[in-house]
Amino acid sequence: MPAPAPRRRRADLDNPRSYQALDPGGMLQMAVDFPAQLEHAARIGEGFRPPAALRGPSAIVLSGMGGSAAAGDLLSRLCEDRLPVPFLVNRSYQIPGFVGPDTLFLASSHSGNTEETLAATSAALRRRARVVCITTGGKLALLARRRSLPLIEIPQTDPPMPPRASLGYSFLPLVFLLQSLGLYPGLARQSQEAVKLARKLRDQVGPDVPARRNRAKRLALDLHGRIPWVQGTPGIMSAAAYRWRCQFNENSKVLAHSSEYPELNHNEVVGWEVSPRLARHISVVVLQQPAAQARLLARVQITTEMVGRKAPVHLIQADGKSPLAQLIWTVYLADFVSIYLGFLNGADPSAIAAINELKSRLARL
């Protein structure tokens, strides 16, 4: 029998030397630099001048995968209460049947080579949709230049930044695009508060802040050895909950679950009748907006009391005044929590071996 693999020593989150070797890709530094990315992304958005032909769509579709699609999730939920047209996020090779000449089709691929997004974009062009591309380059940028499509170019770093670490670049320019098209007036102004709040959060939960004063480190320590179960209140916190789940998957190398109020009160809550032996492996994180509806707050309070009989519950209320700032603050906190949890698991937050294996095997077919 082969010798068992040596056990990794648990990282000391207050001692960078204990986890530096786990982070050859510099994921933690990317998180530290995120406020600067937001500032740069805002300048890219301000500098993009959409052609008049994009105005007045009957629907919006963002097609993307993984970290690139996350921008669509955040944007669609951010705007759903004021956007005058439907907004759908498409994660597929195919596109919805309604896509046509009056559809604003946002093709989002960080690398520019995502096969699902390229296939969906080609289908949208065949239906004469109003296509806008957002990418660092690759085949999508070539397609945009060849077909004279509006192109939002975002920076490509060396080595390349993972799409999930490039959320500011894939998200904020689209915020400015919707404002420029008159679909959500005033939205871009909220970006200034979002950048300031991100800087403040970095100073509160960055690697130099000890765990006793660092809520991200403390939460990672509480989640260590458990399955994160993220619940979000409706709208932007629901989108944030899914982002937290994905960050746990990729950065922390753990399974995670996400769900949304009030829907989870009609199904998931019954599942918490599970035995305490199984529930002890789960830790719940509830994401909530300030000043939520009283009826919704009552649901959250009652549900957390019920769930708290079986598993620990961590309630996180978003900081900030504007919805955009609250959203950015919440997803930014997930970056630090998931990276710290990855270190505690002895994992490289940048590595995505399973995704790379899948792509390699598909390429041989």
What CA–CA distance (Å, rounded) separates 330 from 319? Answer: 8
Confidence (pLDDT) at 101 = 98
Let me know: does 95 contact 124? Beta carbons within 8 Å. Answer: yes
Decide if 16-21+193-344 and 27-188 have a common fold. Answer: yes
Q: Supply the CATH classification number for the domain 27-188.
A: 3.40.50.10490
**pLDDT profile of the chain (365 residues), mean per 10:** 51 91 95 97 96 97 95 96 95 97 98 97 98 97 98 89 94 96 89 96 97 98 98 96 98 98 97 92 96 89 96 97 97 98 96 90 90
Share of the chain above pLDDT 70, in %: 98
Confidence (pLDDT) at 26 = 95
pLDDT in tens, 292-331: 789 999 999 999 999 999 999 999 999 999 999 999 999 9
Confidence (pLDDT) at 78 = 95
CATH class of the domain whose range is 16-21+193-344:
alpha beta
Confidence (pLDDT) at 9 = 60
Confidence (pLDDT) at 293 = 86
User: What's phi and psi for 24, nearest 5 deg?
Assistant: -65, -25
Taking each helix axis as running N to C, give the angle between helix 190-205 and helix 34-47, from 0 to 180 degrees, rounded to the nearest 10.
170
Calculate the average pLDDT of the chain: 94
* DSSP string for 93-152: SS--TT-STTEEEEEEESSS--HHHHHHHHHHHHTT-EEEEEESSHHHHHHHHHTT--EE
CA 262 to chain centroid, in Å, comes to 21
* Extents of the domains making up the chain: 16-21+193-344, 27-188
For the annotated catalytic residues, the residue numbers are: 250, 266, 359
Amino acid code (one letter) for 150: P
Amino acid code (one letter) for 162: P
Buried b (16+ CB within 10 A) or exposed e, 154-181: bebeeeebbbbbbbbbbbbbbbbbbbbb
Let me know: does 66 contact 44? Beta carbons within 8 Å. Answer: no
> What is the dihedral sign for C-alpha 245, 337, 81, 69?
negative
Confidence (pLDDT) at 5 = 45
Confidence (pLDDT) at 188 = 81
* DSSP string for 200-229: HHHHHHSTTS-GGG-HHHHHHHHHTTSEEE
